[in-house]
Amino acid sequence: MEPLRVLELYSGVGGMHHALRESCIPAQVVAAIDVNTVANEVYKYNFPHTQLLAKTIEGITLEEFDRLSFDMILMSPPCQPFTRDLLIQTIQNCGFQYQEFLLSPTSLGIPNSRLRYFLIAKLQSEPLPFQAPGQVLMEFPKIESVHPQKYTMDVENKIQEKNIEPNISFDSSTQCSGKDAILFKLETAEEIHRKNQQDSDLSVKMLKDFLEDDTDMNQYLLPPKSLLRYALLLDIVQPTCRRSVCFTKGYGSYIEGTGSVLQTAEDVQIENIYKSLTKLSQEEQITKLLMLKLRYFTPKEIANLLGFPPEFGFPEKITVKQRYRLLGNSLNVHVVAKLIKILYE
């Protein structure tokens, strides 16, 4: 059987291409397309022999598409509210069978939470073996014994939920009780319980399995000014934790809501640092917070959590800030590889 000819749209730094390789299906990428020139430099660095087109999809004619003679399209387009409905309507009209998913890397034992929407589709008349029309699968299907209702829930309801976190009060003067009581670092008992549950899930690896040990980490330490301003908003994890939150494009430049930071002083109890922190002077607060030795995850460590292989790298001229931007909100290679394999088989 001839290898599948694959077209990679919105190719970025090549996450889909790496996933295709990991899936081990007989296939080759005949062309990759993206307008981001910095991302294209990284793609070319990792896949020097793949045809890379620096243009928009709209700028490619039907004749050019036909000449590529592709069997499969892989793409990770920018998020748009109307994208899903338009895409589903189009593939239905073209005779495709499809299935939607909402999956997080934690389902594969990776300590990084990133609930993301996926859709796979195949041009055929009969339904996919695990197909559940109008439903979204929350786990990878077991093709040999499929019970769709066990793994599904209503698409619209789940998309609206968007993995909402428990409410957290940001008013330090608020008096709460019970599960909503503020304990420290503006976290409720409910929030801490959820994190403790994640760290107790032995099916998920520890963060230390994804960390670098031969890099100068001083450049990644959080500066005193950032510690003082954002101390109560940081999502702090340790190497033995089994969780981290989604890393966004602003990671390394901004702090609030952009990703977890790593506590490298493992012999320091975070509760002791934050206890009565707001009652101290600014100098005393900085002294205490510096004891945690908090740092950003390096771009390589984020790439590891996203499932990129050890050989993945960046050209030397790509700055740390650019690397963070390119990796931010990226897909997880392992998740996509498994979906490709499921669709192929």
Q: Is 176 a catalytic residue?
A: no
Selecting among 24, 79, 94, 241, the annotated active-site residue is 79
Q: Tell me whether strands 96-103 and 135-137 are parallel, antiparallel or unpaired.
A: parallel
CB 35 within 8 A of CB 54: yes
Residue 276 backbone zone (phi > 0: left; psi -120 to 50: alpha; other: beta): left
Q: Positive or negative, the Cα torsion across 82, 88, 94, 98?
A: positive
What is the distance between the alpha carbons of residues 234 and 113, in angstroms, rounded to a whole number?
Answer: 16
Q: Which residues pair with 96 in a beta bridge?
A: 123
Concatenated DSSP letters of 80-99 = -TTHHHHHHHHHHHTTEEEE
Pair 175, 160: CB distance under 8 Å: no
CA neighbor of 78 nearest in space, from 166, 12, 168, 20? 12
Catalytic residues: 79
